Homo-oligomer: A and B are copies of this chain.
């Protein structure tokens, strides 16, 4: 019996699943800092510590690779939110936790956020994916608002719900962008401010109060 030393993991020759994940992480970083076009497959391969043909062998074309990045980061974003929202909570608590999850993701994954929003929403083949993702969020938010309004005994007007949800999602994206550029800022603090800003207004509006132009 030989003293069978468990084959020490050399730095080379890793199993496919591991390499694929390394490549994806590298790609997200490069796409985030260069943008889709300026990112070259050579640089991505280099960042992953591998050669270009391996990237093609495992992940396919540049478009395929980018789509994989978008899907991965989009999934992570959604999971960050889903993980903290509980169905049995009142709507305002759900929204609050959703915002915490959202800003938590952005704070911890600034590259992922940049890939998803600064890059993917501007490039035609992928913009549709992001629009769909945003659409799902809008639906979720609108649902929360709807339940909140109904729970308070008021009447829910669908167009107002959708418009409010769009405004809220946009406000969150804007604050997220600001957060991505201010590493010292606290994600939870941003979440709290936005919660305050939107909830008070949404509540009043959806209960029927209206701002009226005082002239013309």
Contacts and interface: CB of A to CB of B under 8 A. Distances in A.
Interface of A: 34-38, 89-90, 92-93, 96, 118-119, 121-124, 127, 159-160, 163-164, 166-175, 177-178, 190, 193-202, 204-205, 209-211, 213-215
Contacts of A195: 211
Which of A38, A170, A173 has the most chain B CB atoms inside 10 A of its CB? A170
Contact of A175 (B122, B166, B211): B166
A197 to B, nearest CB: 5
9 smallest beta-carbon distances between A and B, as pairs = A170-B174, A201-B201, A122-B122, A167-B171, A171-B171, A200-B204, A200-B201, A163-B193, A170-B171
Tell me the interface secondary structure of chain A in the complex: helix
Contact of A173 (B160, B174, B214): B174
Contacts of A34: 124
Nearest to A209: B200
A163 B210 contact: no
* Integer count of this chain's copies in the complex: 2
B124 A121 contact: no
Given A92-B211, A169-B174, A197-B198, 6 more contacts: A38-B124, A122-B122, A163-B197, A166-B171, A170-B171, A198-B201
Given A92-B211, A166-B175, A196 B205 contact: yes
A52 to B, nearest CB: 21
A197 B167 contact: yes
A185 B56 CA distance: 44
Nearest to A38: B124
Contact of A196 (B35, B119, B210): B210
A141 to B, nearest CB: 11
6 contacts: A166-B174, A166-B175, A166-B178, A170-B174, A170-B177, A199-B201
A171 to B, nearest CB: 4
A198 B199 CA distance: 10
Nearest to A121: B118
